[in-house]
A and B are shown apart, each in its own frame.
Chain A
Amino acid sequence: MKKTETIYGLMAEFTTAEQLLEAAHRTHDAGYHRVDAFSPFPIEGLADAVGFHRTRLPLVVLAAGIAGGCSGFAMQYYAAVVSYPINVGGRPLNSWPAFIPITFEMTILFAAAAAVFGMLIMNGLPTPYHPVFNVPRFALASRDRFFLCIKARDPMFDLELTRKFMATLNPREVSEIEP
């Protein structure tokens, strides 16, 4: 057990998306929960297989959109009614139909910014250093190879047993990840 503290985890390499998906399912079924899978393109169901079921991103985007719309309208209302009211032939100061376009644009602007920055922040990006890159072949994860990582933090993790388990998943090879 002592050696497990000095490595980040074990990494198995696969050649097809189906192999990775199946391996991820089997790893999860075997009781490992600190698992991550890496692929060159999004694979349907892979996030589910590593135990990630839903993201709060849509909620954040909705909230940001509402906040953007409200602040856009509030800004125009403040300018036209409170800060600098101009009486144009007795027309209402709060001419809300004319405020719709900017309210709409602000809604979209805030929501889109929340979608992008929310995605980056939730994903922990930018990440200046990550141990998985210590596996030399991991560079292929952005080309044509598929990787599954069981982290040493997993309570079930045991270097020898986990390595044996990973060998049963039919990987191309299994390597240790330096921390």
Chain B
Amino acid sequence: MADSPADKLAEQMATAPILGPGHDYASVTDKISAIVLKRRPPKWWWVGFAIAFALVMLMLYSITYLLLVGVGIWGIQVPVGWGFAIINFVWWIGIGHAGTLISAILLLLRQQWRTSINRFAEAMTLFAVACAGLFPLLHMGRPWLAYWMFPYPDTMKMWPNFRSPLAWDVFAVSTYATVSLLFWFVGLLPDLATLRDRAKNPVAKVIYGFLAMGWRGSAVHWYRHETASLLLAGLATPLVLSVHTIVSFDFAFGIVPGWHATIFPPYFVAGAIYAGFAMVLTLSIPVRKVFGLEDFITMRHLDNMGKVLLATALIVGYGYMMEAFSAYYSSDQYERFMILNRMFGPYAAMYWCLILCNIVTPQFLWFRKVRSNVGALFAIAMVVNVGMWLERFVIVVTSLHRDFLPSSWGMYYPTRWDFALFFGTIGLFLTLLFLFLRFLPLISIYEMRALVSEEEKKAEG
């Protein structure tokens, strides 16, 4: 039995290294910093950047038109007033959860395999939160008055409504963006010093030197740096859970059928982790390929991420089940109608697509063969990205379009401007990502050196 191919594969996967063989401090440093310090970016970088940047232009165009004409250019209409803006906001912010999860929770759990993907995932978090933040801002109708949401001593003598989840959201998302940025910078600091010391180009040397703030790797500095990193991880862990909880309150505090449920906070948080890991997989698979980083982002990483994806898929599946069950069990006619309308109403196709994408497809991840197949993992992650978007569409639209009074029912049809802005933000996300890949180390170099040291110790016994 022990010799069957499946068992051999199992053994290989369990002992697979989190770092390729034959690496020392110098080689990990040189390999990762060379990506940034190379004089010219490769051709595919220009092609990818050009496409992404074209989409940013589309975004700017659609924002400009929106500001000129108003939110009427979107498909939102009574009774569906939320539409794409909120769907995309929740989708992006969900994606933005993996970074902090990987860098904070997995750090506290001492999961060493996080080292080579955390920097990348944190950058992804920042860019996703930037995209997310645009939507509620533009959905306001008069974005130039956005500062009214913040408590400041104004001449109107008014305050934001602190009892409203929408005001909580302002604080949650802005805190999350700030803390993620700070956490990211703290991790970058020693690597910026490495780039300063390795850069040949005088301009690059000055810029990296400025950003590195004179970091010199002193033992005392490292000690405080480690302390700060651990404290930040401890602070970011409840923060990351709170953010999507508060986003779910935006829904759960309303009495709309299908939203007013206590399952919402945990179900949203699990969905966010699910979406975030799917996006990390979607991005890390091509990145490790084009940069030849198979030694650093190994099959073990992909396997682990596949497992996290499967586990969160099951939690999300439980959430869908409980939604249907509590609708039935509540004996509330509006709740019961909502779930039937969701499954068999005009948007039934979206609902079943979402079940197919989020519940059925990830079941393939039970098989080790699938988790060790890079192409299959990429395909599944892509399907989950789509599925999580559909989930938010179903939650927002099916609950709003037929709530209580049949006389106020309606349908929601997105317009081309909805799509333009959505694809535009994907462009913004990719543009920022391409710039990040070009100018900053995509893997934490100093943590990789520490990993080399640990591996050496292990090898010595």
Q: How far is the CA of A119 from the CA of B185 in the complex (A)?
A: 12
Whether B220 pairs with A47 at a CB distance below 8 angstroms is yes
Beta-carbon nearest neighbor of B178 in chain A: A109
Shortest C-beta distance, A114 to chain B (Å), equals 9
Residues of A within 8 A of B158 (CB): 84
Residues of B within 8 A of A90 (CB): none
Residues of A within 8 A of B228 (CB): 57, 115-116, 118-119
Stretch at the interface among B60-68, B126-134, B235-243, B405-413: B235-243
Contact of A127 among B159, B171, B214 (CB under 8 A): B214
Stretch at the interface among B47-55, B321-329, B391-399, B443-451: B443-451
Shortest C-beta distance, A106 to chain B (Å), equals 7
| A interface, size bucket | 35 or more
A10 at interface (Cβ–Cβ under 8 A)? no
Whether B218 pairs with A36 at a CB distance below 8 angstroms is yes
Beta-carbon nearest neighbor of B239 in chain A: A108
B side interface size, CB within 8 A: 59
Shortest C-beta distance, A140 to chain B (Å), equals 8
The B178-198 residues at the A interface (CB cut-off 8 A) are 178-179, 182-183, 185-186, 190, 193-194, 196-198
Q: How far is the CA of A72 from the CA of B58 in the complex (A)?
A: 39
Beta-carbon nearest neighbor of B26 in chain A: A144
Q: How far is the CA of A73 from the CA of B111 in the complex (A)?
A: 36
B232 at interface (Cβ–Cβ under 8 A)? yes
Whether A42 pairs with B222 at a CB distance below 8 angstroms is yes
Tell me how many residue pairs across A and B have CB atoms closer than 8 Å.
Answer: 190
Shortest C-beta distance, B266 to chain A (Å), equals 16
B314 at interface (Cβ–Cβ under 8 A)? no
Shortest C-beta distance, A63 to chain B (Å), equals 13
A179 at interface (Cβ–Cβ under 8 A)? no
Whether A122 pairs with B235 at a CB distance below 8 angstroms is no
Whether A142 pairs with B232 at a CB distance below 8 angstroms is no
Beta-carbon nearest neighbor of A132 in chain B: B216
Q: How far is the CA of A43 from the CA of B159 in the complex (A)?
A: 50
A130 at interface (Cβ–Cβ under 8 A)? yes
Shortest C-beta distance, B59 to chain A (Å), equals 28
Mask: chain B, 220-258; 1 = CB below 8 Å from A; 0 = not: 111111111001100110110010001001000000000
Q: A80-B162, A105-B175, A142-B197 are in contact. Are A40 and B29 (CB under 8 A)?
A: yes
A101 at interface (Cβ–Cβ under 8 A)? yes
- In the complex, which of the residues A84, A104, A106 has the most CB atoms of chain B within 10 Å of its own CB atom? A104
Q: How far is the CA of A61 from the CA of B228 in the complex (A)?
A: 9
The A55-97 residues at the B interface (CB cut-off 8 A) are 55, 57-58, 61, 65, 75-76, 79-80, 83-84, 95
B439 at interface (Cβ–Cβ under 8 A)? no
Residues of B within 8 A of A46 (CB): 219, 222-223
Whether B214 pairs with A126 at a CB distance below 8 angstroms is yes
B24 at interface (Cβ–Cβ under 8 A)? yes
Q: How far is the CA of A119 from the CA of B194 in the complex (A)?
A: 19
> What 4 pairs between A and B have smallest CB-CB spacing?
A127-B214, A126-B213, A144-B25, A47-B223
- 11 chain-A/chain-B pairs, Cβ below 8 angstroms: A40-B446, A50-B220, A57-B228, A65-B235, A79-B162, A84-B158, A98-B163, A108-B236, A116-B186, A126-B214, A142-B198
Binding site for B on A (CB under 8 A): 17, 24, 36-43, 46-47, 49-50, 52, 55, 57-58, 61, 65, 75-76, 79-80, 83-84, 95, 98-99, 101-102, 104-106, 108-109, 111-113, 115-116, 118-120, 122-123, 125-130, 132-133, 138-144
Binding site for A on B (CB under 8 A): 24-26, 29-30, 151, 157-159, 162-163, 165, 167-168, 171-172, 175, 178-179, 182-183, 185-186, 190, 193-194, 196-198, 213-228, 231-232, 235-236, 238-239, 242, 246, 249, 446-447, 449-450, 453
